Structure 1
């Protein structure tokens, strides 16, 4: 048994090495074709040390960053070849690939880089944060009440751009001696200004249900994924009714840790395909597109796990349900929106159609959604979050100019 496990582990390692080598040579060719970036151009950088496995953390920032780059050029700083390749293919932004620290040294010599943004807590962030005379800013890759949102690692950054007052209250409660008022800037959710795109189904009388579960997590306290506990019976019932359309958007890491989780995910995908073959007018969707837009704004109701997807949907003010984790170790902060949300227990999945009818028709619940959306994101008027994001960056750029100005007697 151990020999078999070791063999599988060796095969996975060999595949990762081969994938990395291929990506490295492809990125090198792409950079050679593009040529060097102009020196002295970029005052804003976004640091990403991960592979393409975690590219979802960058994807949600593509549109806001492209908007920002219209007035303040932005460069993406990639440290992993597979991650760099993905960014170059899909971000629409300038990318530099710096696998070695010596490359970072050259980069900070050639570019002003007065504001560096970070979307996650990769330990290699510290290789960039060693450079002073610039602002290091944590912008995260989502807004939620997961324990990740109150990591003490916030203290490592000069500032954190947070969604709103809920995030500030969360940090104030969890962290000792963290100057929340001085070191956080509330910008809302700039991604909400870019929830666009055409859905791959026609407008008809079907009730569209977004089911967007998270992955299984890498530790018991983060066991929020519902694919095994809720997903299969939930989707099976919705496919049976003939009046629902399922948009299934699983987390890209589904099954990375737990093979059973990955197998359940594949069975749901197969069930959707089979339902479409039996009824071509159903147009059920297995969605894995890199951009997140219509998936949040158009469905009549969304079912999400405890994850950032809850709060992305919350910003739209439309009906929403949250799956209740079965794992007793899963940590849930029920002091915020989760204290009043519509929970979906695994025992309710067999009758999910009736449950959703109730939630969609609940006017009082819609009013609560609007109130909590304001608490988490502030002003959600179209364009307001993007403006706040741009102004937050510009304020730091001005502070950088002041710091670099020569001292006057």
Structure 2
């Protein structure tokens, strides 16, 4: 389909050029109409090609200008045979329209700058910033605006070419000019002093005043790409349950909308100069779920203590990264991570490692026994991604993914949930290709299996629950909303909203699984349902050496790890302690039948006790609860930060010079030399 659209567009423009140069009116008309139709198909069904054309410097603006240029050439060529001066006003009108188009673009840039605040927020009252709804989308995107506003002019020129009647071209140009003038006027009104949002300095002053009023104590700091938002989202619930005044600090503007539903205030500080304003706030501790290039910038703030909490723990090298020594403390789940840092010798001292458990694992349901007789055995295959180092053992998708999936699908009693890592294929194209083939295997298995589907009421319930949850989470933003409008529409949440979102999420998950046939395999790639919801559906996990298996241990259910490292099984187990309680699968998946038997018949499960012991080692004890240990670690580090601030303030006061003695009018002091007057 993509090649067809590309071929039609290229052929249409070539034919239009030939029709204009000959001139050949029928060919010119047909080619222009064909190119317009291809544009419609492009924007309706092939949106992915829009960015491809833009990267090739052939975006909609270039295509529209070329289309109109060829029409003008055709008209002028016709003019040589008839009345050459008749079409001159049409050419002038077309040039005037393009002049207005570029004027709108220039003004839209100015408007966008006034609507790009230095601080982006969520869950904060921003009424003092005089924010207004964003201009219509057409006034902000030059390509679609030109296509929409210029369509009457193009249609009029087409009619003039067909009939040799300039009135049609004049009418189309008049309509395009009118619409363009109206758009320009609407944007100019937004530049009037009384219509602009607050300026940069005013926003910064407002932000400092808000910090002084809110008085945050602990924050979550995050910087990353769109696909890494899950790393921050997994810490939102534990953060929200803390006493005090939590805050989420982001660095990328696009990330503000990717943070999931929360009542915690969110601030995005793209510039380092704005970030440094946190130094004089009440913020004492920042938690870091990941490392990034921008982390070093916030570590420069001396009044804040920093703790690395990570977004999951595994035996990968990334779980004991040397960068961790840059933080004041490193918070881990259990003693295994402490040992991992000690063995790695990356500069993290044992006194700076704090065991807090994994508070977000409260959402993982405990083992409730094997699948009921006659019921499907639900297997979750959740491989990790290929990583940055090119290690073939990072992900099983490339070497073992297809054999594993085929072996699982071959068992008539298995229901497969395939949930690939969001970054799969981002480094190695082979991983992306294997992922696509696995998805096709799942679809083919569903076509062969077939079976009854839930009645319409289940789908209707899911639709209702989705609308309810979206209403709480998305707040009904229109597609044309920009950052300033989203700040306006997301004030401080009402009391009880967090509980409402939690209840709506639980109801949605229940409706989601009820809407799916019990026999149907699933490919789960959306943000909903989350990984932990898939844990609760699964009887067995198949994964790689990653934090997924560490978290799954909280359920107590059996799990298996694919060994694509090339190591012998005993060496593999010794090299990766998280595999100690796992069934190790070879790339050919020959051990899958025996693994499924041990899941269905617990008496064959020889690793149950090992899983309990490993969970204690990896995740720490169940008492005190992880959330309580997490809160205690936050309180302790806040106290340390407070003591550091006090000592710093004492040193600053001690180093200040004594004020100079104040001079008074009157008699000179004895120590002052006597002023003599001239004789």
Q: 1:346 aligns with which of 587, 592, 598?
A: 587
Does residue 81 of the first structure (1) align with residue 253 of the second (2)?
yes
Provide the rounded CA distance (Å) in 1 between the counterparts of 2:628 and 2:122: 32
Q: How does 1:2-401 map to 2 (within 5 A)?
A: 34-35=125-126, 38-40=210-212, 41-68=215-242, 71-87=243-259, 89-109=260-280, 111-175=281-345, 178-180=348-350, 182-195=351-364, 205-221=375-391, 223-277=393-447, 278-280=449-451, 281=517, 282-290=519-527, 291-326=530-565, 334=575, 336-339=577-580, 341-347=582-588, 349=589, 352-358=592-598, 361=602, 362-380=604-622, 384-401=625-642
Aligned residue for 2:432, secondary structure, equals helix
Instruction: Go from structure 1 to structure 2 and tell me whether the alpha carbon gap of 1:105 and 1:252 turns closer, same or farther (over 3 Å shift).
Output: same
- Contact 1:114–1:397 (8 Å) recurs in 2: yes
**Aligned mates of 1:392, 1:13 — CA distance in 2:** 50
Structure showing greater Rg: 2
Q: Secondary structure at the match of 1:373?
A: helix
- Structure 1 distance, partners of 2:397, 2:591, is 17
1:331-390 Cα shifts (integer Å, max 9, x gaps): 96625233453211112x256233322356344301100011111111135x70111111
Displacement of 1:72: 2.3
TM superposition shift of 1:91: 4.6
Deviation at 1:327, TM superposition (A): 5.9
Aligned residues: 382
Q: CA RMSD in A?
A: 3.4
TM-score of the superposed pair, with normalisation by structure 1: 0.83
Structure 2 residue runs without a partner (length 5+): 1-48, 60-108, 127-205, 366-370, 452-516, 652-679
8 Å CA contact retained: 2:246, 2:264: yes
The structure with the greater share of residues assigned to helix is 2
Aligned partner of residue 82 in structure 1, secondary structure: helix
Mean Cα deviation higher: 286-295 or 259-268: 286-295
What are the ranges of 5 or more consecutive residues in structure 1 without an aligned counterpart?
1-7, 197-201
Does structure 1 retain, via aligned residues, the 8 Å contact 2:124–2:266? no
Cα deviation, 1:196-254, whole Å, max 9, x if unaligned, reads 7xxxxx99710010110011222223741111222222222322322111111110001
Superposed CA deviations along residues 257-295 of structure 1, whole A, max 9, x for unmatched, are: 122211221222233334334424413222234333232
Match of 1:5 in 2: none
Note closer, same or farther for the CA distance 1:336–1:351 as it changes in structure 2 (3 Å cut).
Answer: closer
Shift of 1:25: 6.6
Structure 1 residue 57: Cα displacement? 1.3
* 1:290-310 Cα deviation digits (max 9, x unpaired): 333232234111001111111
Higher relative contact order (CA 8 A, sep 6+): 1
Per-residue deviation, residues 310-343 of structure 1 (Å, max 9, x unmatched): 1011222210101102467xx9662523345321
Structure 2 CA distance for partners of 1:29 and 1:390, relative to 1, 3 Å: closer
Secondary structure in structure 1 of the residue aligned to 2:549:
helix
User: The residue matched to 2:607 in structure 1 has which SS?
Assistant: helix
